[in-house]
């Protein structure tokens, strides 16, 4: 079993990833921590509570950060054209959800849970890396106590999606992302190199909605606005960015990876770019030296990943 804390900014593809984690038999979802990104922290936290309630997810929700690690970093507007004004495809999420939040803030929840389960917790982070960086800053020793960190973010051998250089989750808090990539915990980065190859067709989503009961129908309703956005980018359907990271936790054999230290460019026109120094390549002394080798995904068996997502979403209890 994998004990997972899901750090998320729901977000349409976040919603699919959450249902995947909830329904996969090898995952024990022990917490949901929220971060700003696809919408404000108030909206993403409300959405996490909405999905917890709708899908009867036992894991607690802890509210996270609404501000970048460097508070002077300029604010980038919310991507309402992709995720809707409510962050969940404009399905009409109630303004308030009558469920309690965990009393701790997200980074404290992460620290406490990791310390209570040394060596056991996998952090799956599919929004900005702010909460993870704050947890590291408050308690650097947790890096040695986490089982692994799996990130959706970055663009290594391909162009970005928010600038030619940068992917949105990394660009949204570059200093935080660099802190996470360079910490002494094992990180696997699932970036645009592989997620953009993983497109769920409308037909597949409607088949899941038919087989997966009411929770899957809600997921399908949430996803329609996002699919309309992707009409300009893919032939048919939606890129399932965040679910790819969740699949990596249970089926890493469906990905090809490359090892090497990873840095995030902070500032300038390439702000948010992720750059890896592949293991074994020799250079004069540079800013990648002495940082841990992390794994970047460079290949994916997209058909097998989509099948695993579809079967998991459809096979609810
Ligand atoms: Ca996300």
Residue written as tokens 């990539």?
181
Q: How far apart are CA 185 and CA 43, in angstroms?
A: 30
Q: Cα–Cα–Cα angle for 142, 144, 147, nearest 5°?
A: 95
Residue written as tokens 């074994």?
280
Q: How many helices (H) and strands (E) does the chain have?
A: 12, 11
How many Å lie between the centroid of ligand 1 and the Cα of residue 87?
A: 10
Range with the poorest average pLDDT among 28-37, 83-92, 245-254: 83-92
Q: How far apart are CA 95 and CA 97, in angstroms?
A: 7
CB 153 within 8 A of CB 177: yes
CB 38 within 8 A of CB 84: no
How many Å lie between the centroid of ligand 1 and the Cα of residue 9?
A: 5
281 pLDDT band, cuts 50/70/90, is: very high
* 22 given a catalytic annotation: no
At 142-175, the pLDDT tens digits run 999 999 999 999 999 999 999 999 999 999 999 9
How many Å lie between the centroid of ligand 1 and the Cα of residue 256?
A: 22
At 105-156, the pLDDT tens digits run 999 999 999 999 999 999 999 999 999 999 999 999 999 999 999 999 999 9
CA 191 to chain CA centroid, Å, is: 10
Q: Across residues 299-311, what is the average pLDDT?
A: 98
Q: How far apart are CA 233 and CA 267, in angstroms?
A: 28
At 242-275, the pLDDT tens digits run 999 999 999 999 999 999 999 999 999 999 999 9
How many Å lie between the centroid of ligand 1 and the Cα of residue 273?
A: 18
Q: How far apart are CA 11 and CA 220, in angstroms?
A: 13
82 pLDDT band, cuts 50/70/90, is: confident
Q: How far apart are CA 262 and CA 1, in angstroms?
A: 28
Q: How far apart are CA 116 and CA 305, in angstroms?
A: 32
How many Å lie between the centroid of ligand 1 and the Cα of residue 286?
A: 32
pLDDT at 316 over 80: no
How many Å lie between the centroid of ligand 1 and the Cα of residue 165?
A: 19
Select from 172, 176, 150 the least CA-distant residue to 160. Answer: 172
- Please pick, among 22, 24, 83, 241, the residue that the annotation labels catalytic: 241
pLDDT at 317 over 70: no
How many Å lie between the centroid of ligand 1 and the Cα of residue 251?
A: 20
How many Å lie between the centroid of ligand 1 and the Cα of residue 247?
A: 15
How many Å lie between the centroid of ligand 1 and the Cα of residue 15?
A: 9
Q: Across residues 177-199, what is the average pLDDT?
A: 98
How many Å lie between the centroid of ligand 1 and the Cα of residue 81?
A: 15
The three-class DSSP label of residue 250 is helix
């Amino acid at each position: 079993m994998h004990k997972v804390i899901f750090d998320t900014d729901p977000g349409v593809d976040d919603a699919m990833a959450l249902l995947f984690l909830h329904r996969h038999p090898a995952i024990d979802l022990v917490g949901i921590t929220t971060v700003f990104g696809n919408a404000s922290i108030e909206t993403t936290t409300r959405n996490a509570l909405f999905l917890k309630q709708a899908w009867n997810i036992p894991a607690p929700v802890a509210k996270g950060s609404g501000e970048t690690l460097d508070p002077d970093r300029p604010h980038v507007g919310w991507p309402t054209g992709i995720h809707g004004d409510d962050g969940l495809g404009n399905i009409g999420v109630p303004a308030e959800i009558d469920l309690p939040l965990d009393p701790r803030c997200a980074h404290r929840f992460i620290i406490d849970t990791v310390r209570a389960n040394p060596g056991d917790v996998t952090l799956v982070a599919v929004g900005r890396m702010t909460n993870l960086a704050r947890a590291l800053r408050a308690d650097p020793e947790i890096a040695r106590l986490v089982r692994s960190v799996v990130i959706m973010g970055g663009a290594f051998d391909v162009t970005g999606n928010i600038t030619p250089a940068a992917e949105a989750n990394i660009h949204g808090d570059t200093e935080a992302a660099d802190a996470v990539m360079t910490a002494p915990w094992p990180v696997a980065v699932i970036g645009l190199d592989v997620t953009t190859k993983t497109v769920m067709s409308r037909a597949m989503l409607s088949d899941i909605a038919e087989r997966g009961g009411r929770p899957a129908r809600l997921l399908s309703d949430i996803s329609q606005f996002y699919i309309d956005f992707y009409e300009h980018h893919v032939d048919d359907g939606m890129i399932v960015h965040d679910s790819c990271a969740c699949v990596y936790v249970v089926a890493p054999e469906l990905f090809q990876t490359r090892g090497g230290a990873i840095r995030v460019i902070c500032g300038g026109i390439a702000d948010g770019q992720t750059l890896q120094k592949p293991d074994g390549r020799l250079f004069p002394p540079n800013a990648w030296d002495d940082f841990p080798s992390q794994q970047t995904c460079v290949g994916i068996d997209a058909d097998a990943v989509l099948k695993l997502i579809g079967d998991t979403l459809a096979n609810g209890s």
